[in-house]
């Protein structure tokens, strides 16, 4: 059932588990309307200072996130592209705009992370390592308006006057590593914020934040992982064995039949938390011993889409594994929950 994973995870936080460094809860925190979690719990693009197009050397973007302007609820973003002209003089294009967040169904459907846009201004002169300083000359650019649309947490498209110009990624990916399963391994504090009454089950207190510390480790794919089927045509997503890396929290006290896993899709570059508690087992035998050899996954299963927003923070939003629910916010509306994982160093 939908309540299963939420109840299990709250149970993790409210009980003492062997090997868990800390667990507990706090109550009377602010309530929040579905789809609008508090600051610090919102899904955002990955916060990185510099972004690059892998196909272009010597150029890039500096993208900064600022507090909202007066009267606005979303942060202000600025973007500065820095390149050199034919004479090797530095040249900048600058823009700023209020962040336009995606809907939860956009995040679930295609990973969209919102956008910001603004009038492009250009700059000439200024500081230069190998030339005399010139007072910067900044004014409107002939390129018109710019937009940076984040396709995922860590990928974005840059457009000038509606014409796509380049694809950029955080520099940390290029200089160090691409996001992959190993990035998610290690020690984390797992928090669940419950925003309103009836979530995740009737009688639960709104404004509750439950937390537990655990370690995520990579595991061998479960024996049934190669035989996962859709229970019916309404089932939205099942992991592909060839492109799925399996992980699990190694030091929690989950029930033996509570199959809660972290899976990383190497093609979509997505991390998810899944619960197969509502799946239908496919029974068979291995070496003559009766056992579960697979599962038919149900559209009633609850998934969490996990979005890294900086090197130490992941935000998660729930959705039901149903084609009929993927284009609306039914799970989010009915289960006003947000997850946050912060890295324990």
Report yes or no: 211 and 13 within 8 Å, Cβ to Cβ. yes
Report yes or no: 307 and 153 within 8 Å, Cβ to Cβ. yes
Query: What does pLDDT average to in each consecutive run of 10 residues of the chain (345 residues)?
Result: 49 42 83 84 91 86 94 93 79 91 86 94 75 79 93 92 92 73 90 80 78 90 90 91 89 54 88 82 90 90 89 90 72 76 91
Whole-model pTM: value is: 0.85
Buried b (16+ CB within 10 A) or exposed e, 129-165: eeeeeeeeeeeebebeebbbbbbbbbbbebbbeeeee
């Amino acid at each position: 059932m939908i309540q299963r994973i939420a109840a299990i995870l709250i149970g993790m936080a409210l009980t003492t588990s062997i090997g868990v460094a800390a667990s507990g809860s706090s109550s009377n925190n602010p309530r929040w309307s579905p789809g609008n979690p508090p600051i610090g719990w919102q899904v955002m693009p990955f916060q990185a200072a510099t972004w690059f197009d892998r196909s272009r050397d010597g150029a890039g973007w500096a993208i900064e996130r600022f507090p909202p302007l007066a009267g606005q609820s979303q942060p202000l973003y600025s973007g500065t592209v820095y390149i050199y002209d034919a004479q090797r003089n530095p040249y900048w294009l600058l823009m700023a705009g209020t962040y336009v967040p995606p809907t939860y169904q956009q995040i679930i459907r295609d990973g969209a992370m919102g956008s910001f846009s603004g009038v492009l201004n250009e700059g000439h002169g200024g500081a230069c390592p190998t030339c005399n300083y010139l007072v910067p000359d900044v004014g409107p650019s002939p390129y018109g308006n710019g937009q940076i649309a984040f396709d995922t947490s860590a990928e974005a498209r840059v457009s000038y006057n509606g014409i796509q110009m380049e694809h950029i990624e955080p520099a940390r990916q290029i200089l160090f590593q691409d996001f992959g399963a190993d990035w998610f391994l290690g020690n984390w504090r797992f928090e669940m914020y419950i925003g309103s009454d009836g979530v995740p089950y009737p009688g639960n207190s709104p404004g509750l934040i439950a937390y537990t510390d655990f370690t995520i480790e990579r595991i061998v794919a479960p024996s049934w992982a190669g035989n996962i089927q859709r229970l019916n045509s309404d089932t939205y997503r099942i992991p592909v064995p060839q492109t799925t890396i399996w992980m699990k929290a190694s030091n929690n006290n989950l029930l033996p039949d509570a199959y809660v896993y972290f899976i990383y899709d190497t093609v979509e570059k997505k991390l998810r938390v899944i619960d197969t508690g509502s799946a239908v087992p496919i029974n068979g035998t291995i070496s003559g011993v009766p056992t579960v050899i697979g599962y038919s996954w149900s559209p009633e299963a609850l998934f969490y889409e996990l979005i890294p927003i900086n090197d130490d923070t992941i935000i998660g939003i729930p959705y039901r594994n149903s084609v009929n629910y993927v284009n609306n916010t039914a799970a989010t509306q009915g289960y006003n929950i947000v997850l946050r994982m912060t890295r324990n160093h």
